[in-house]
Amino acid sequence: MGEERQESLTRSMGEVLLVQDLEMRREVAMKVMKKNLALHDAHRLKFVAEAQATSQLEHPGIPPVHDLGLTAEAAPYLTMKLVRGTTLRDVLQNLLLRRKEFRKEYTLHRLISILERICEALHFAHEKGVLHRDLKPENVMLGDFGEVHVMDRGIARVRGEEEGTWSPGSSRSFCGERRESAAAVRKRRYPRSQEMRWRG
């Protein structure tokens, strides 16, 4: 069952929840589309596009997508690796405030290394034809063990595809078909969730 761990958050397209994956016995991050946006097929397809675009990117700097489905209310959701740490925005703000502990930990050498790893992740995505289009410090997570993750591809686009279209056949499942079975899977696998915050 899910445990209370962190606070609430609302992102541009949806809410991010901390949930327990009972099948794999692990904590994951679940992004659920906002109810008002889930009423429109165009927004639903954009949400599915984010999940499918990210799922193509197997890189240490890009958290993998584990699952894609529908809630009991027929709102699309995706689950992905749970990244613990802080955002690059928080680090830069604390450096500007000249916080001693941050200046000691985030030296110029380390900041350059973080920038290099961001560039590596973006280059990999571009080589796969996926454009982020919303890169900013709050969308870069610095993990507790030195990880650097490029997050939140909510307006990502696969190069060569027209705006507002999406080709994979599974997308029809998120626009009115097979909702009941998808919701049943979600309820069994993720029975309870808790809102969490990516500080940014």
Q: Spell out the residues 6+ positions from residue 89 whose beta carbon is closer than 8 angstroms to its own.
A: 136, 137, 138, 140, 200
Contacts of 154 (CB under 8 A, 6+ apart): 11, 12, 13, 46, 50, 134
DSSP string, 90-145: HHHHHHHTT-HHHHHHS-HHHHHHHHHHHHHHHHHHHHTTEE-----GGGEEEETT
For residue 46, which of 133, 122, 135, 137 has the smallest C-alpha distance? 133
User: How far apart are the C-alpha atoms of 13 and 108, rounded to whole Å?
Assistant: 34
- Diameter of the chain by CA atoms? 55
Six token digits for residue 23? 């099948």
- Alpha carbon 153 to its chain's center: 7
Catalytic status, residue 134: yes
Query: Given 21, 67, 134, 144, which residue is catalytic?
Result: 134
Residues marked active site are found at 134
